[in-house]
Structure 1
Amino acid sequence: MKVSIGMKLQHSPWGGGNQFGHAFAKYLRNRNHEVCFDLADKDIDIILLAEPRRDLRISAYSEYDIVRKIILGRSRALIVHRVNECDERKGTTDVNERLRQAAKCADAAVFVSNWLKDLHNAQGFPCRQQVVIHNGADRDICSSQGYRPWNGSEPLRLVTHHWSSHPMKGFHFYRYIDTLLDSGEFKGILEYTYIGNLPEGFSFTRARHLQPLYGLELAAALRHHHVYVTASQNEPGPNHQNEAACCGLPILYLQSGALPEYCEGFGIGFTETTFSEKLREMMATYHQYVEKMRHFPYTAQAMSMQYEKLFQSLLKRKKELLKNRQWIRRPLWLLRMLCGTGSSQR
């Protein structure tokens, strides 16, 4: 099987989509499948549309490029659209519509959470062949080996990491944690590290700030702490907490977006008003959660296996799926795609 992954992979600290691309490509190659990151080859079996917004650095091609490949290049590749984004995550207004436009040519769509699937379907997502495959962290990198649990007498070390500096990543919560370090009941018994980019003008008073880390260096930094905190809002299919969980850290997570879907049973959820209460609960039940972390299911290996099975099942139905393509019978839409016009070229 030859799979084209529509990403320009970055080899430095980057977002969760980039980690997906690296892990999935490694898995496919280990399974003796061929992997490419463009549409040049004539014998591609599966085209994975991972990021249709060509203005983003990580995007390799859009649905426009795919349709040209199918029509002008006479390709019989199947098209799978991986959906991992939404307007709700950063307060934008055009992303959901952009993804719906891109999905019109897809033979199947993969959503990275049930929360995201429900959100897009409520807004009229066009591709009806849908599955949910949760993101996962690469255990070859994010391993709990070397993680030393909290002993109850030393300060409890909290940690967060994000690539994005967008305020909806939860910086009002992270500032609140910063204030806890120097006041009230948590003074002297709590430490906090933030790894990643900060919003312009934002700074911590007592918390430790590290620049973005990547790969084994990031995993080592996470393992140096005891509990992971994420207050990111409306996350569609987050991977940052997966990386921490695979390193052995129980999770304190905001009950928002897909975070509960990924974290339930492996940490404690909090709301806008209950962080201190849930932090106390974590300190009281910490060791119960440490024991559970070895069973955390969201790994890159499990994720990649599900993609592989999906692709193989689609290829078994290839004749049927090609016959059922509706967009091939829409000449005006096809003309717009081939000419590269229309708002979805953004």
Structure 2
Amino acid sequence: MKISIGMKLQTGPWGGGNRFVSSLVNHLDTLGWQVSFDLKDPELDLILLTDPRLKLASCSYNHSGILHYLLHINPSALVVHRVNECDERKGTTGLNDLLASATRVADHTVFVSSWLQKLHLGQGMPVKSSSVILNGGNQSIFHPRGYVRWDGHTKLRLVTHHWGAIRMKGFDVYEQLDQMLAQPTCRDRFEFTYIGRLPDDFTFTHAQHIDPLDGQSLADEIRGHHVYLTASRNEPGSNHNIEGALCGLPLLYVPHASMPETSDTWGIPFTPDQFPEKLEEMYASYPRWADRMPDYPFTATRTCSAYVELFNDMIRNRAQILERRRLFRHPWWLARTWWQGNLEK
């Protein structure tokens, strides 16, 4: 089978979408699929649109390019749109409309969480069919081997990591913890490490800050701690908590947006005003949570297998899908999709 993925893979620390595509490519390679990252092959079986924003360094083509390919090169190629973003994540405008336009070229739309699916469908995204496939972490890198459980006597070490340097990643809580560490009663029992980029107006005073890490070095640093903390909000489909949990760390998390879908039952939820008391609860109940973490299920293998199952099912039903696609081919649809896609160039 031949598949094209609309992403330019990046090296070094990058976002979760880059790690997803990297894992998917490796998985497809083991199954004998031919993977490309452009639309030059005239015999593609399937196209995976990962982001319609051509201005991004990681985007190799958008829905406008796919539309041209379907109309002029290969009308039998099937299209899947993976949606992992929304305006709500960063307080932007226009992205949800762009994603809605992009998904018009797709035969099937995959959302990375039920929360994101409900959000976009509630705003009228014109999907033909859709499903939810939750993210998963690369278990060959993010695993508990080498993780040393807290002994109950030394400091309980908390860690988080983020690529995006926006306040909504949870900096109100991280700042709260940083201030708590100024007090001996907290400093003598806890440590906190933040891995990643910081907002321009933000610095830590008592917590440790490490520049962005990736791959093995990131996983090793995570495993050097005991509890994974995240206060991020409006996460379309988080990866950072998954990577922490796969390393063996119980989760201390804000149950907002998609976060409960990969965190519930694997740690302690809290609201920002509850944070001090929930931190103490984790301190008191850590062994119970740590015992559970080896069974954490959200791996890249699980995620990639779900995508391959979807791809194969679509290929088996290609004739029915192409027949349904004709219902959406009219001049207004073509003109609108082409115009909005080219706005991104």
For 1:116 and 1:44, the matched residues in 2 are separated by 29
Query: How do 1:126-165 and structure 2 match up within 5 A?
Result: 126-165=126-165
What corresponds to 1:14 in structure 2?
Answer: 14
| Structure-2 change in CA distance of 1:132 and 1:152 (3 Å) | same
Query: How do 1:253-292 and structure 2 match up within 5 A?
Result: 253-292=253-292
What corresponds to 1:97 in structure 2?
Answer: 97
Matched residue SS, 2:194: strand
| Structure-2 change in CA distance of 1:18 and 1:237 (3 Å) | same
Shift of 1:184: 5.9
Deviations 1:105-141 (A, max 9, x none): 1100101000111111110111131110000000011
What corresponds to 2:124 in structure 1?
Answer: 124
Unpaired segments of 5 or more residues in structure 1?
Answer: none
What corresponds to 2:63 in structure 1?
Answer: 63
Shift of 1:345: 3.0
Shift of 1:69: 0.5
Q: Do the aligned residues in 1 keep the contact of 2:52 with 2:341 (CA within 8 Å)?
A: no
What corresponds to 2:114 in structure 1?
Answer: 114
For 1:95 and 1:176, the matched residues in 2 are separated by 31
Matched residue SS, 2:174: helix
What corresponds to 2:343 in structure 1?
Answer: 345
Runs (4+) off by over 6 Å? none
Amino acid in structure 2 at the alignment position of 1:300 = A
Shift of 1:342: 3.6
Which 10-residue stretch deviates more, 219-228 or 91-100?
91-100
Amino acid in structure 2 at the alignment position of 1:142 = F
Q: Do the aligned residues in 2 keep the contact of 1:182 with 1:188 (CA within 8 Å)?
A: no
Give TM-score, length-normalised by structure 2: 0.97
Deviations 1:277-303 (A, max 9, x none): 111111111111111111111110000
For 2:4 and 2:276, the matched residues in 1 are separated by 46
Which 10-residue stretch deviates more, 324-333 or 285-294?
324-333
For 1:99 and 1:44, the matched residues in 2 are separated by 23
Which 10-residue stretch deviates more, 157-166 or 73-82?
73-82
What corresponds to 1:51 in structure 2?
Answer: 51
Does residue 179 (structure 1) correspond to residue 179 (structure 2)? The answer is: yes
Amino acid in structure 1 at the alignment position of 2:195 = I
Query: How do 1:189-338 and structure 2 match up within 5 A?
Result: 189-326=189-326, 329-335=329-335, 337=337
Shift of 1:166: 1.0
Matched residue SS, 1:325: helix
Deviations 1:236-280 (A, max 9, x none): 100011111111111111121111111001111111210111111
The percent identity for this pair of structures is: 45
Q: Do the aligned residues in 2 keep the contact of 1:105 with 1:327 (CA within 8 Å)?
A: no
Matched residue SS, 1:177: helix
For 2:46 and 2:266, the matched residues in 1 are separated by 35
Shift of 1:95: 1.1
What corresponds to 1:27 in structure 2?
Answer: 27
> What is the aligned residue count?
344
For 1:187 and 1:51, the matched residues in 2 are separated by 43
Which 10-residue stretch deviates more, 233-242 or 280-289?
280-289
Shift of 1:75: 3.8
Shift of 1:328: 5.3
For 1:37 and 1:93, the matched residues in 2 are separated by 28
Shift of 1:147: 0.2
Give TM-score, length-normalised by structure 1: 0.96
| Structure-2 change in CA distance of 1:250 and 1:171 (3 Å) | same
Which 10-residue stretch deviates more, 110-119 or 181-190?
181-190
Shift of 1:202: 1.0
Q: Do the aligned residues in 2 keep the contact of 1:181 with 1:207 (CA within 8 Å)?
A: yes
Shift of 1:327: 6.3
For 2:278 and 2:328, the matched residues in 1 are separated by 53
Shift of 1:17: 0.6
Amino acid in structure 2 at the alignment position of 1:345 = L
Shift of 1:74: 2.7
Amino acid in structure 2 at the alignment position of 1:171 = F
For 2:298 and 2:60, the matched residues in 1 are separated by 26
| Structure-2 change in CA distance of 1:243 and 1:121 (3 Å) | same
Matched residue SS, 2:53: coil
What root-mean-square deviation, in Å, do the aligned CA atoms of Structure 1 and Structure 2 show?
A: 1.3
For 1:70 and 1:160, the matched residues in 2 are separated by 43
Shift of 1:343: 6.8
